[in-house]
Chain A
Amino acid sequence: MKGETIDDRALVLDRDDTVATALADLEAASSLSYDGRTIELTENVPFGHKVAMEPIPAGDPVRKYGSVIATATEAIQPGDWVHTHNCESNRGRGDTTAEVSDR
């Protein structure tokens, strides 16, 4: 598997990433040891979902695969579940584009 596995329970795909992917159902108050730090989960994170490994201020990019996958819509703390409730896509957003044309 590409990336770095944490305690067999999560995966960081690239060193620049700010989130890890859960490889099991992770429970609130459990912890992950990563990069010399202990990150305590603030809530449950289901298998396949993402947990923040760094603080991400509102408006800052969320990184996975070494690329930007979203922008935080609120301040995200390490150990938070990261999904559609606290970050959003920057692409394919016809709803935010004022111009509606036949171009």
Chain B
Amino acid sequence: MNDTRKVVIELDHVHKWFDDFHVLKDICLSVREGERIVVVGPSGSGKSTLVRCINHLEAHNQGRIVVNGIELTEDLKRIDEVRREVGMVFQQFNLFPHMTVLENCTLAPMWVRKMPQKEAEDLARSYLERVRIPEQADKFPGQMSGGQQQRVAIARALCMNPKIMLFDEPTSALDPEMIKEVLDVMVDLADGGMTMICISHEMGFARRVADRVIFMDEGEIIEIKKPDEFFENPENERTKLFLSQILED
């Protein structure tokens, strides 16, 4: 392994507690530019918390997290700087229901990046095109299907031109027939060279795009492997048990 690409996310012995519950235990991980990581693990394993620590939606209690060269501390300026470069897509979409799709997408570029409205709208339309819903720009989120909403959420995050994208179970709240349209957009994004960390149990997606698959359980990273090895040849007993459970059908 002599990867010369820049390290954009570095987690160094990170610990986190919710009250006295130890959710993240000694997490060490570095992600290089353009790398695609898929995180899997049972619910409550801390994978969501891990991803949310990267843009400081959760604060870690111990260890260092450096994103894009900026170490995350309680300093609000640094947090905002990191968030500007890190896009996030949520399980429940979290679109702003009182705004149209276009307004959802132009909000952050206009208010955070101080982009003129016209430019922000052009940018938003180009990303809506990329997620294949340019015709829905003037609708409200409540008028769209779940799959469409999630694609808007991806476009909204992309409008900030982030260097890193975080996906927190983006297809778990979707009806089965809509999962593919969202995954297609994510594959497209991965092929474009975006640095991505995805929590996802879509194993086809993981095989197709992941550079590395991380298995987490009880707050620890149990295994990190290339997808083929991960699925064909898991070593840890917990990994084997988990894979046998999700691959049953």
Q: Is chain B found bound to chain A in the same assembly?
A: no
B-contacting residues of A (Cβ < 8 Å)?
Answer: none
A-contacting residues of B (Cβ < 8 Å)?
Answer: none
